[in-house]
Amino acid sequence: MSLSLPQTLALDFDGVLCNGLREYFLTTWRAYSRIWPTSTSEPAPELAEHFYHLRPVIETGWEMPVLLRAILKGFSEAQVLADWYSIRDRIVADEDLDRKSLVQQVDGVRDHWIASDLENWLALHEFYPGVVSALQTLSQAIEVIIISTKESRFIYTLLQDAGVNLSRDHIYGKDCRRPKYETLRLLIPEVAGPIWFVEDRIAALEQVKEQPDLAEIGLFLGTWGYNTARDRKRAQQDQRIHALDLEQFCHSLSQWVV
């Protein structure tokens, strides 16, 4: 599929622009400790590594404490990678968990952390090398939109701190309460020219593929993000989805499809 260069670039946030694994884990640990009180205030060092390896299975934030619960209940990394949705739903049912309550716990931890120690919270995030400069250059040439399952207010705070002045109405976070493909659909009549979408979750890109009216949107898997070797292989075998590495992302758009 040949692609015309975009006039609008839609970008996921976590795993495409920002590496927030340390913040994800520590926020998750704090939320987990509220849901399942523990005898230790600090997590075991190896717990973070297991969580980092399994981060690609997470679609939205409420799942993070459930993932930690799965790890601590003894599910192996191989089991989680192969059957996450089944494991997740079983834990939710067995422990009578409420998704809305889990959302409130995770976002509540973040809100309190930002209010009480913003500098520390910001320090746990790092934008991928070259991304901030690329964003600043791109936003001067074309329309840049963020579509994420992270709350818009958190994204805006991080972008501002990094020196990226993107207006709030260009950020579509979890608070929009709709699938990413639906946000893309709503963007089409609002923006000029072709749209390209960069995401690190292969499932999100495949959902866009399933929408016949979104057939003209260019789809890119950010291979530096929260995805697995199996995800990257699926992208390489897909005629519609283009595997994109970080070096390509930080260079001219004309180099993205070669």
What would the pLDDT profile of 78-114 be if each residue is shown by its tens digit?
999 999 999 999 999 999 999 999 999 999 999 999 9
Beta bridge partners of 10: 145, 197
Mean of all residue pLDDT scores within the chain: 93
The closest alpha carbon to 13, from 121, 153, 210, belongs to 153
What would the pLDDT profile of 31-85 be if each residue is shown by its tens digit?
999 999 876 778 888 999 999 999 999 988 899 999 999 999 999 999 999 999 9
- Between strands 18-19 and 126-127, the pairing is antiparallel
Q: How confident is the model at residue 1 (pLDDT cuts 50, 70, 90)?
A: low
User: Quick one: 153 exposed, middle or buried, by C-beta within 10 A (0-12, 13-18, 19+)?
Assistant: middle
Average pLDDT over residues 216-243: 94
pLDDT of residue 127: 96
What would the pLDDT profile of 190-208 be if each residue is shown by its tens digit?
887 899 999 999 999 999 9
Taken in order of first residue, the domains within the chain and their CATH numbers are: 8-19+127-255 (3.40.50.1000), 21-123 (no CATH)
Six-digit token pair at 156? 């805006």
Proportion of the chain above pLDDT 70, given as a percent: 98
